[in-house]
Structure 1
């Protein structure tokens, strides 16, 4: 089975959206924006750092920068979503791959997080007493 459209950090996003649907960090802006900004940040870090040092393994540096710069970007844009920090980490830690495949990861983050928000929108609003989202 092929899981090209799966990012591990989506599991933690689902916990927030379905377990704590009213939380600020669970709202659509945070979920979609956080994953996309983090994916883009991680991809850019990987593309900048890893080709420069192809002879040595600097995965630990790109991974740390991918996550920390993703957090900084999310905070600056008001889209903080804790699971998305792992998305930035994953994007930055991938072995050197062609550029277009790295940006395919960004499309995966956009599509996957958008579908999760749509499912959370339907599911949470079917349950009496729940309302999702509380803001966009």
Structure 2
């Protein structure tokens, strides 16, 4: 089924609802662990609405979130929270994403999440890795098979 450009925003909105809804369901209605974090909202928007951009590609989504949460957790575990570490953890995350060519702007919130919510290394698996992978899989399904778009644009690795 091919959707017109007029119905694409509706499908993207429905897809966003489904992805965030599923992450929320898994987080609050099951015992599988926490799957949702605030930076996943803009990630879903970018993956579905800006699917051609580099920042929407699976590698950027996965590695961007991973690099930034690890950076934030390291700051949290070994230095602690202060106005300096909040700013520095974001700056270091930006440098690392650019260095590793995995820029994903929503992930820049992750060091702040790590420091302000006092999360530990377990947070890397749930919700960062689990949630990122679910977003990627569902974004591929919605983009490629429902909207008939070429996504991902680049190779997955």
With structure 1 as the length reference, what TM-score do the two structures score?
A: 0.83
RMSD of aligned alpha carbons: 1.7
User: Which secondary structure state, in structure 1, belongs to the residue aligned with residue 120 of structure 2?
Assistant: helix
| Dislocated runs of 4+, deviation >6 Å | none
Task: Trace 1:1-136 onto structure 2 (pairs within 5 A).
Answer: 2=28, 4-50=34-80, 58-95=81-118, 102-107=120-125, 108-135=127-154, 136=156
User: Which secondary structure state, in structure 1, belongs to the residue aligned with residue 72 of structure 2?
Assistant: helix
Counterpart contact for 1:31–1:81, Cα < 8 Å: yes
5+ long unaligned stretches in structure 1: 51-57, 96-100
Moved more, 2-11 or 111-120: 2-11
Alpha-carbon offset, residue 69 of structure 1: 1.0
Alpha-carbon offset, residue 45 of structure 1: 0.8
Counterpart contact for 1:60–1:93, Cα < 8 Å: no
Counterpart contact for 1:27–1:134, Cα < 8 Å: yes
By relative contact order (CA 8 Å, sep 6+), the higher-ranking structure is 1
The aligned length equals 124
Alpha-carbon offset, residue 127 of structure 1: 3.5
With structure 2 as the length reference, what TM-score do the two structures score?
A: 0.73
